[in-house]
């Protein structure tokens, strides 16, 4: 019998959860606990960490999981690396459900950088107004550039003082629309955008808006991951799990 641990937190994970529930697959949806009020799912949910790779391996064995799907954010490197190690130790098959990264078009002004620290170094020398669209976990390095104003968009209100001297906050949950992102940037006088190359349609609006406004984007590339099998869509993953999606379910 199939029993799936779905490591989630992305739009794609929610889509897969709906497909698993519709197929009556025994599955558990795991949230890391980064968000105070995660979206409800049509599967039993687990919230919080596992205690590292060893803890995850023990959980997989104790709960008799037969498959693991890692559909976490492309920058959630710790859980993804732990999943690779844990699944090898517990001898449980693992697949990563990973969306394609964004690629620039002819009208985009992107600077690719390898990490957050390089993004900080790439900021302009003169004071600027930066849309810092990277979540709340990677803000501290930008404190080294206090001459800039930073606009942050967060899912939850911060529970502790921000490390940034000059910042404003918008509380919102995606997916976002290009028109509203363009209006947000114009209203805040944004001159530059810093973002992580997470890919997917849900967060692409800021890049479409930047293109329309002719704004430069500093785009942080995805970190390297250990070797693992990767699939991109719900139908592909459901087939791997032995529950193919019918053409009617795909909307064909």
pLDDT, tens digit (0-9, with 9 covering 90-100), for 176-208: 999 999 999 999 999 999 999 999 887 899 999
Model confidence at 12: pLDDT above 80? yes
Task: Classify domain 3-100+224-250 at the CATH topology level.
Answer: Rossmann fold (3.40.50)
Model pLDDT for residues 44-65, shown as the tens digit of each residue: 999 988 999 999 999 999 999 9
What is the pLDDT, as a whole number, of residue 32? Answer: 79
34: confidence class by pLDDT, cuts 50, 70, 90: low
Model confidence at 7: pLDDT above 60? yes
Give me the chain's average pLDDT, please.
Answer: 92
Q: Alpha-carbon distance 127 to 145, whole Å? A: 9
Q: What is the pTM of this model?
A: 0.84
Residue range 95-122: mean pLDDT, rounded: 95
What is the pLDDT, as a whole number, of residue 202? Answer: 79
Domain boundaries, the chain: 3-100+224-250, 110-220
Give the CA dihedral 102, 106, 109, 113, nearest 10 degrees.
40
- DSSP assignment letter at 151: E
* Architecture category of domain 110-220 in CATH: 3-Layer(aba) Sandwich (3.40)
Model confidence at 250: pLDDT above 60? no
Q: Alpha-carbon distance 249 to 243, whole Å? A: 12
pLDDT above 70 as % of the chain: 95
Q: Alpha-carbon distance 53 to 90, whole Å? A: 10
C-beta separation of 178 from 156 below 8 A: no
45-47, strands of its sheet edge to edge: 45-47, 26-31, 3-7, 67-70, 94-97, 230-231
Q: Alpha-carbon distance 159 to 87, whole Å? A: 34
Same fold, 3-100+224-250 and 110-220: yes
Residue range 142-155: mean pLDDT, rounded: 96
Model confidence at 247: pLDDT above 70? no
What is the pLDDT, as a whole number, of residue 251? Answer: 46
Q: Alpha-carbon distance 156 to 170, whole Å? A: 9
Model confidence at 40: pLDDT above 60? yes
252: confidence class by pLDDT, cuts 50, 70, 90: very low
What is the pLDDT, as a whole number, of residue 158? Answer: 87
What is the pLDDT, as a whole number, of residue 178? Answer: 95
Q: Count of CB atoms within 10 A of residue 184's CB?
A: 19
Model confidence at 248: pLDDT above 60? no
């Amino acid at each position: 019998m199939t029993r799936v641990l779905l490591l989630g937190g992305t739009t794609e994970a929610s889509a897969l959860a709906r497909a698993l529930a519709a197929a009556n697959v025994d599955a558990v949806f795991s949230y890391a606990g980064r968000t105070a009020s995660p979206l409800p799912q049509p599967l039993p949910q687990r919230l919080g960490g596992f205690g590292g790779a060893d803890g995850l391996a023990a959980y997989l064995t104790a709960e008799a999981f037969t498959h693991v799907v890692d559909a976490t954010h492309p920058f959630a490197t710790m859980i993804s690396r732990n999943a690779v190690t844990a699944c090898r130790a517990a001898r449980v098959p693992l697949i990563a459900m990973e969306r394609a990264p964004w690629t620039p078009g002819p009208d985009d002004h992107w600077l690719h950088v390898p990490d957050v620290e390089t993004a900080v170094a790439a900021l302009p020398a003169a004071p600027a107004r930066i849309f810092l669209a990277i979540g709340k976990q990677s803000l501290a390095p930008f404190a080294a550039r206090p001459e800039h104003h930073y606009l942050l968009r967060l899912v939850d209100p911060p529970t502790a003082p921000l490390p940034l001297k000059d910042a404003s906050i918008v509380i919102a949950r995606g997916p976002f629309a290009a028109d509203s992102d363009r209006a947000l940037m114009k209203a805040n006088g944004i001159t530059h955008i810093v973002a992580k190359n997470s890919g997917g349609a849900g967060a692409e609006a800021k890049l479409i808006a930047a293109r329309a406004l002719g704004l430069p984007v500093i785009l942080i590339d995805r970190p390297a991951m250990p070797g693992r099998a990767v699939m991109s869509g719900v139908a592909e993953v459901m087939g791997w799990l032995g529950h193919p999606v019918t053409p009617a379910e795909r909307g064909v």
